[in-house]
A = this chain, B = another copy of it.
Amino acid sequence: MTQTLSVALLQQAIDLDKTKNLNLFLAEIEKAASQGAQLVCLPELHMGPYFPITENFEHYQHAETIPGPTTDALGMLAKKLQIVIVCSIFEKRAPGLYHNTAVVLEKDGSIAGMYRKMHIPDDPGFYEKYYFTPGDLGFNPIQTSIGKLGVLVCWDQWYPEAARIMALKGADILIYPTAIGYHKDSKSGFVKDRDAWQTIQRSHAIANALPVLVINRVGYEKDPNGLLEGTQFWGHSFIAGPQGEIIKQAGDTVETLTAEIDFKETEQIRQFWPFLRDRRIDAYEGILQRYL
């Protein structure tokens, strides 16, 4: 594990065309690496439009295996550039069995590990329960040459439990590839929602004294059925330090966010704010219940 880490978050608008998206990300990763990035993170389901905007079995054709064409292409690039890449795949595990899966590609091009999204949302325009079987790999950070990456995906970001378990398993950093936005027809409340979304992720940094990376997509994507007004992905990718302080934050347009993460800070903060010391593990059983 390195003491400091240069990270780059690719906040992008996604095209309808898969090849175009792949080429865009290959080029942007290359650019980020040339500027010194050791870790490059892509947003959730970056190979195409956010298809869970509607329930349509035709979208299953876009699912791919792991390893598969996307992890092969990104793995080759990771090797060429000697960097680590976090990507997000609509995983075909078996016929009729699909996941929303983040994959970490190591500097040597190999797959360091993967995380299958555990918390699956389902809201109008975000029909993920139709497509994705909830993950069965648990919350396990992925060991890499640059540290243990606590990779979680989007809806997981609302759950302190997920971040805590990653921290207890030794994660050095939390990473959330994301696809979140507002319906064009419900714009009024979205700033409050976006602020809540940022605040709870900053809180995972604070509770666990870990840096947090959040990579969202941007741009408007319409509902192909025309039933909904479509989704405006709100961007605002950000990099937070281990006290939840915002180090860098994007707006709502295409942008690459970069920062230098200092892993030493986690230990310093944990000594100054020793939350892990005082957890009442004898009194937390209620967490394992649905309702009490």
Cβ of A227 within 8 Å of any chain B Cβ, yes or no, is no
Partner pick for A288 among B121, B278, B285, CB 8 A cutoff: B285
User: Which A residues from 239 to 292 make CB contacts under 8 A with B?
Assistant: 243-245, 273-276, 278-281, 283-292
User: With A165-B284, A273-B158, A292-B168 as given contacts, are A278 and B120 in contact (CB-CB < 8 Å)?
Assistant: yes
A285–B161 alpha-carbon span in the complex (Å): 10
Q: Is the CB of A207 within 8 A of B158?
A: yes
Cβ of A138 within 8 Å of any chain B Cβ, yes or no, is yes
User: With A243-B193, A291-B168 as given contacts, are A161 and B199 in contact (CB-CB < 8 Å)?
Assistant: no
Chain A count of residues within 8 A CB distance of the other chain? 50
Q: Is the CB of A119 within 8 A of B164?
A: no
A291–B165 alpha-carbon span in the complex (Å): 9
User: With A158-B273, A160-B160, A199-B206 as given contacts, are A286 and B169 in contact (CB-CB < 8 Å)?
Assistant: yes
A207–B162 alpha-carbon span in the complex (Å): 12
Contacts of A278 in B (CB 8 A): 119-121, 155
A272–B275 alpha-carbon span in the complex (Å): 32
A196–B164 alpha-carbon span in the complex (Å): 17
User: Which A residues from 42 to 65 make CB contacts under 8 A with B?
Assistant: none
Name 16 extra pairs, CB < 8 A, besides A139-B283, A159-B280, A200-B206.
A119-B278, A119-B280, A120-B278, A138-B283, A139-B286, A158-B207, A164-B287, A165-B284, A168-B286, A168-B289, A169-B286, A193-B243, A195-B244, A203-B203, A281-B288, A287-B287
